[in-house]
Chain A
Amino acid sequence: MNGSHARQVYLVDLALLNAAGSSPSDRYAAAQPAQAPTFKLDRLARPIATPRLAIDLFERKIQRSVEAQGLRLLHCAARLAPALRDLQLPAERVALTAAIPEVDAPSPCWDAVEAIREQPHKLLGQLFANTPPLHALTLLNSSVMAYVAEGLRCNGPMAGYCSQSNAGIDAFIEAVTMLTEARADAALVVSSSPNITPALYLREGTSYPDGTDADIYGEGAAAVLLATVAPLTAPLVIRVAGWGRAYSARVERAAALAERVLEQALSTERVNLSDVELLVADERDPILRELFAPAATPRSSRDLTGDLGASALLTDIAYAIGDSRHEHEPRSRYVLLMTRSRAGHCGALLLEIAKMEKGA
């Protein structure tokens, strides 16, 4: 779709957290062994430890009241705070978009609810009184957006998405259009994977195509800071040259849909697949492998990170940026990122990435 906007968008900084590590170059390392979750011994997963939040940005009680997936997101967002501060923009010109997984882990609020169920004749007021109100917010997945906004001072436009693994592309596209349409001068794009819980596996059952059960889920988060003003140190210019989005739950439509989305993404720039120097997508996805064959083979860091759901797209962008060619052959090149969700979403993003000389 639209790629021909006047305002340039720079990728100022990014923050990652997943089983592969926390920098773009980690995505090119060797995979560590995955492990079986205690509640799902027939599957492997790549969980990570819940991070501690920076207390200079977030109130200490958030650490206790926000679920792990939210804490991962906040942790990554916090790492972008210095770069955002350096931009010296008014808060109302800083946008925030988020790709948020749904919440399905237990929370302290539900303890109170369960207590009510167990003792319906007790005074409800007493039971409620023993539950800290902040915990109730755990039920609201978008509350993490409010914490990011408060901690990093964003008063600008916002958008939250929760479309499984496609949420990342929705959040990124919206952030870029906010910048190119001059609705903001900087945008934080934040994302997190879902927690690895029994519910995650239960959701695979009904609406998803067969043949994906061997997926290895990972836990992680990713955040990027985009701006229309170039940062001082060796900036990467990221231009969204095109995108495509579509959906069909019908398995027999998957290949045609992916082809259509690819065409959409390439059409605005009038380029061919052969013009794309890096294809980032799930290399095990049979539909995408066939779509790109024989011209190219998609690559990603999924072997290292596991399937990161809503934070996969930003992690893929980090993978693309981590390609050493940007450093060794500093020129503009096209990168195509493509995602397919189990539910039937398909998205493609054509980026033109160029490494600028320092001070350029």
Chain B
Amino acid sequence: MSARRVVITGMGAVTGFGFDWQSMWMQMLDGAHCIRPWQPEEITDGSFPVRYAAAVDMGLLPAYLQEHPAWRLPLEKRSRYGWVAATQAFSDSGLQAEQLRDAAVLCASGAPQHMLADMQLALADEAHAGADWRHLMQRAAEVQAQGSLRQSNDRLAQVIADDLGCEGPVINISSACAGAAQAIGNAFQMIRRGEVEIALAGGADSVLNLDTMGALYLLGAASSEQRWGKDLCRPFDRDRSGLVAGEGGGFIVLETLERALARGAKPYAEIIGFGSSLDAYKVTAPDPQGRGAAFAMQAALRDAGVEPEQVDMINAHGTSTPLNDATETLAIKNVFSRGDHYQQLAVSANKSQFGHLIAAAGAPEMMLTALACRDDRITPTVNLHHPDNGCDLQYCAQQAVSRRVDLALSNSFGFGGLNTSLVVRKYREVL
């Protein structure tokens, strides 16, 4: 088995910043965030405890995307975002449709909230009149209309494959907030071992509905803090109070370097390692010693065949929850302890700028890591004014950082302690 080099040649992102990765990248370098006031549609008196989110703003939809079929077909909004992001990534890659015939599609699309939401759409009157949910389930069986109600959770992966004519493996990922990172990691591995030559990998998610935000609030994960207004997402800050949800999607095109060069594509960056782990601690909290997170980073570095001292930057999971940010910092310090290398690392938390995209989070974060390697520019961790006790890394607070980035890690840690880490290298044709 000869290991092949795997490069990123296309990217597409839909976030609160807009419908392409370029607007996300430029605004984030400028230190902007897209978190705004938010309430579920059903709650009209403003009493929902979670008050802010980074929603996709349809007002930013560019003219050239207004005719995209995603907006016309009966799909959940997360599938729409994901489909558009995948289309953008394909377009960005410069590939021709016939070159995708054997491509794999790997997709994380989050927890299957749609059955409930769709039934409410389909049976709106009954739902709002207070019908019992179990009865709704029964009545849904009587609904004759064709629509998103009948779609399975892996619909997005199928839609993308159908639209782009991909007939390779189509794989739907389920690993909570590590989902998109697992999709990218698995795609990287499939290409490296020769199973496929091209893959489209990423995810899409939207938890901006009453059901899921209610659940996240119940879990104590979502912030209901009002002190800071829309600046409440504060990774590593002493005043952080929980995650702020975002929504959107992100996909990247991965292919063998050989194939990319043969068609004249210019890679953004190279993926060289992937690692994952399980906390095996508590479903609702990370291992306080950060062992699981450390295992994932160490596994990724081992897989890449690089030493910790070679790493310049970490794109942190950085959720702005009290537990994650403390344990992630601890894990980083443990993994990069030799020669106190952690003091040299630049650590950036993108969720401070576009919220937590849950299952999709790893995809745009991977793009920003790749762009940091390409441009030697690191997006900032905004709203970080007073680093918490123990949070003593270089977090790129408030302002983008310019520094050489040859090697970077992108961390994604999911609910229940499902951890992933990807290693990205600045692209060079000859090593």
Tell me the chain B residues, 144-174 only, with Cβ under 8 Å from chain A: 146, 149-155, 157-158, 161-162, 166-174
Q: How large is the interface on B (under 10, 10 to 19, 20 to 34, 35 or more residues)?
A: 35 or more
Of B42, B143, B194, the contact of A116 (CB 8 Å cutoff): B42
Contact with A along B273-307 (1 / 0, CB 8 A): 00111111111100000011001000100010000
Interface centre among A109, A147, A202, by most chain B C-beta atoms within 10 angstroms, is: A202
- Cβ of A121 and Cβ of B45 under 8 Å apart? yes
- Cβ of A133 and Cβ of B151 under 8 Å apart? no
Contact with B along A287-300 (1 / 0, CB 8 A): 00000000000000
- Cβ of A158 and Cβ of B115 under 8 Å apart? no
From DSSP, what is the main secondary structure of chain A's interface residues?
mixed
| Given contacts A137-B283, A146-B278, A117 and B42 within 8 Å (CB-CB) | yes
Q: Is A285 an interface residue (CB 8 A)?
A: no
- Cβ of B116 and Cβ of A134 under 8 Å apart? no
CA distance A161 to B175 in the complex (A): 8
A71 → B minimal CB distance (Å) = 15
| Given contacts A109-B218, A113-B211, A177-B189, A253 and B49 within 8 Å (CB-CB) | no
Q: List the A side residues contacting B292 at CB < 8 Å.
A: 155
Of B43, B49, B116, B277, the contact of A92 (CB 8 Å cutoff): B277
Q: Is A185 an interface residue (CB 8 A)?
A: no
Q: List the B side residues contacting A150 at CB < 8 Å.
A: 280-283
CA distance A123 to B43 in the complex (A): 12
A197 → B minimal CB distance (Å) = 7
CB-based nearest B residue for A144:
B416
Q: List the B side residues contacting A246 at CB < 8 Å.
A: 167-169
- Cβ of B167 and Cβ of A163 under 8 Å apart? no
A38 → B minimal CB distance (Å) = 9
Q: List the B side residues contacting A118 at CB < 8 Å.
A: 130
Q: Is B111 an interface residue (CB 8 A)?
A: yes
Of A133, A159, A166, A343, the contact of B220 (CB 8 Å cutoff): A133
| Size of the chain A interface, CB-CB below 8 angstroms | 85
- Cβ of A247 and Cβ of B167 under 8 Å apart? yes
Q: Is A270 an interface residue (CB 8 A)?
A: no
Q: Is A54 an interface residue (CB 8 A)?
A: no
Contact with B along A133-147 (1 / 0, CB 8 A): 111110111110111
CA distance A203 to B147 in the complex (A): 10
Q: List the A side residues contacting B150 at CB < 8 Å.
A: 202-207
| Given contacts A103-B112, A343-B158, A39 and B214 within 8 Å (CB-CB) | no
CB-based nearest A residue for B302:
A183
Q: Is A212 an interface residue (CB 8 A)?
A: no
- Cβ of A249 and Cβ of B141 under 8 Å apart? no
CA distance A112 to B215 in the complex (A): 9
CA distance A188 to B48 in the complex (A): 41
Q: List the A side residues contacting B216 at CB < 8 Å.
A: 136
Q: Is B338 an interface residue (CB 8 A)?
A: no
Q: List the A side residues contacting B210 at CB < 8 Å.
A: 113, 116-117
CA distance A359 to B271 in the complex (A): 43
Q: Is B138 an interface residue (CB 8 A)?
A: yes
- Cβ of A162 and Cβ of B174 under 8 Å apart? yes
Tell me the chain A residues, 286-345 only, with Cβ under 8 Å from chain B: 343-345
A139 → B minimal CB distance (Å) = 5
From DSSP, what is the main secondary structure of chain B's interface residues?
mixed
- Cβ of B211 and Cβ of A163 under 8 Å apart? no
- Cβ of A161 and Cβ of B174 under 8 Å apart? yes
CA distance A111 to B172 in the complex (A): 29
Q: List the A side residues contacting B280 at CB < 8 Å.
A: 91, 149-150, 153-155
A130 → B minimal CB distance (Å) = 10
Q: Is B182 an interface residue (CB 8 A)?
A: yes
CA distance A148 to B62 in the complex (A): 45
| Given contacts A145-B175, A203-B151, A257-B167, A113 and B214 within 8 Å (CB-CB) | yes
B275 → A minimal CB distance (Å) = 7
Q: Is A167 an interface residue (CB 8 A)?
A: yes
CB-based nearest A residue for B112:
A102
Q: Is A170 an interface residue (CB 8 A)?
A: yes
CA distance A142 to B419 in the complex (A): 12
A111 → B minimal CB distance (Å) = 7
Q: Is B414 an interface residue (CB 8 A)?
A: yes
- Cβ of A159 and Cβ of B211 under 8 Å apart? no
Q: List the A side residues contacting B116 at CB < 8 Å.
A: 110, 113
Tell me the chain A residues, 198-213 only, with Cβ under 8 Å from chain B: 198-199, 201-207
Q: Is B113 an interface residue (CB 8 A)?
A: yes
Q: Is B228 an interface residue (CB 8 A)?
A: no
CA distance A150 to B418 in the complex (A): 11
- Cβ of A157 and Cβ of B44 under 8 Å apart? no
- Cβ of B414 and Cβ of A117 under 8 Å apart? no
Q: Is A277 an interface residue (CB 8 A)?
A: no
Interface centre among A113, A134, A246, by most chain B C-beta atoms within 10 angstroms, is: A113
Known: A106-B134, A109-B214, A257-B167. 6 other contacts (CB 8 A): A2-B1, A113-B211, A137-B415, A146-B279, A207-B151, A249-B162
Query: Can you list the 6 inter-chain pairs with the closest CB atoms, starting with the nearest?
Result: A146-B416, A162-B174, A245-B169, A136-B215, A247-B170, A102-B153
Q: What are 19 contact pairs spanning A and B, CB under 8 A?
A: A39-B141, A92-B295, A102-B115, A116-B42, A116-B43, A120-B47, A124-B49, A137-B283, A146-B416, A150-B280, A155-B291, A156-B277, A158-B175, A160-B182, A161-B174, A164-B152, A202-B149, A203-B151, A249-B161
Chain B residues with CB under 8 Å of chain A are 1, 42-45, 47-49, 105, 111-113, 115-116, 127-128, 130, 132-134, 137-138, 140-141, 143, 146, 149-155, 157-158, 161-162, 166-176, 179, 182, 186, 189, 193-195, 210-212, 214-220, 275-284, 291-292, 295, 299, 303, 414-419
